[in-house]
Amino acid sequence: MSNLDDVLNGAFIEQEQQETKSKQIEDRIKSYDGASALLPSRQYGKPVNPEKFGLTLRSIIERNDPHLAAFLGISTGYHKRKEEEEAALEEMKKSMLEKTEALRQRNMSQKEFRERNVLRGLRPDGGRFF
């Protein structure tokens, strides 16, 4: 009988650990705005089943917690794409600043050229007056 008791005790402990883990996951999901009402019901002692999650709930989880989304197997790469978009935007900003600075330098150079020509009695474009 003690062998059966050990098996039953082990099964009970395993179920309680699974329930604790599932409850923590559910509490974490419920902490996100709008997710609480979308969370499907679950039988006591059973793991959270992300296959029962709707698209909206999956999106909320991934947007708020990419680590939990990866753990549940519902990650779509949202954060990676977002980081790539932000990096591309920063690169574009940097490029625009460099081009703007190059244009500013060229404009300053042309302005100095025109001013020198006027001081020498030449036309601003460098030609002679008739």
How confident is the model over 55-104, as pLDDT tens digits?
899 999 998 999 999 999 898 888 888 889 999 999 999 999 999 999 99
Q: Yes or no: say if 61 and 35 are a contact pair by the CB < 8 Å rule.
A: yes
Structural domain total, the chain: 2
| CA distance linking residue 8 with residue 81, whole number of Å | 47
Q: Are residues 103 and 113 in the same domain?
A: yes
Q: Are residues 22 and 42 in the same domain?
A: yes
Q: Are residues 16 and 72 in the same domain?
A: yes
Q: Are residues 72 and 109 in the same domain?
A: no
| CA distance linking residue 76 with residue 23, whole number of Å | 24
User: Is the per-residue pLDDT at 130 higher than 60?
Assistant: no
Q: Are residues 71 and 53 in the same domain?
A: yes
Q: Are residues 70 and 82 in the same domain?
A: no
Q: Are residues 55 and 45 in the same domain?
A: yes
Q: Are residues 7 and 71 in the same domain?
A: yes
Domain that holds residue 71: 2-76
- Give the pTM: 0.59
Contacts of 60 (CB under 8 A, 6+ apart): 32, 33, 34, 35, 38
Please report, for residues 115, 116, 125, the alpha-carbon distance to residue 130 in angstroms, rounded to integers and kept in the order given.
19, 19, 14
Q: Are residues 67 and 27 in the same domain?
A: yes
Q: What tokens appear for 101 in the block? A: 């600075």
